Amino acid sequence: MKKVQAPSGRPDVVAAVRGGDWSQPMDGEGIPGDATLKHALYWRKIYTEILAMEEKVLARIRQLMDTQSAEGRHEVELTNVPVVVAQAERFRQRLGYWDARVEQLNGNSHHKP
């Protein structure tokens, strides 16, 4: 998957996009390869929920952008959108790891979110 590029000159966005690094787990998450089925199911649920939230936020941003001036839309495109997209990509990738772990442990592929 292509990494999100942060606009130069916007340290807030650069930091946020860097925070979207998908090698970065949440607190207490552990390594998928070492996880039990219960643990893997738990983290799959967590990532499913947070990814759904980010996608809803992104949809809301796009909806609200329609009401902005050209300058406002440009600013939102430059700041909000890459931040949320980076976060969503990170969560999607982490969800993929946990999906794979669940499948590996019990072949539960029919239960993909």
Partner 1 sequence: MPRGKSKPAVRGGRARPVEDLGSRALEGEDLTTKRWEDARHWISIYADLLEFKRGILARVRRDVANLQPPAQKAAAMDLKIIETQMHGYQERLDLWYRRIWELQGLWIDPVGRVVRHQAREVSLTKREFQLLQFLLDHPHRFFTTTQILGQAWADPALFPEEVRNYVRRLRQILVDLAIPADLVNKPGRGYSLIFRSN
Helices 80-106 and 11-19, axial angle in degrees (round to 10): 0
Binding test (CB under 8 A) with partner 1, winner from 75, 85, 92, 105: 75
What's the CA gap between 64 and 15, in Å, rounded? 24
Q: Is 45 a residue that touches partner 1 (CB under 8 A)?
A: yes
Q: Based on CB atoms, which residue is closest to partner 1, 11 or 107? A: 11
Q: What percentage of the chain's residues is helix, strand, coil (to nearest 5)?
A: 70, 0, 30
What's the CA gap between 105 and 94, in Å, rounded? 17
Q: Is 35 a residue that touches partner 1 (CB under 8 A)?
A: no
Q: Which residues bind partner 1 (CB under 8 A)?
A: 9-10, 12, 16, 19, 26-29, 45-47, 49-50, 53-54, 56-57, 60-61, 64-65, 67-69, 71-72, 74-76, 79-80, 83-84, 87, 91
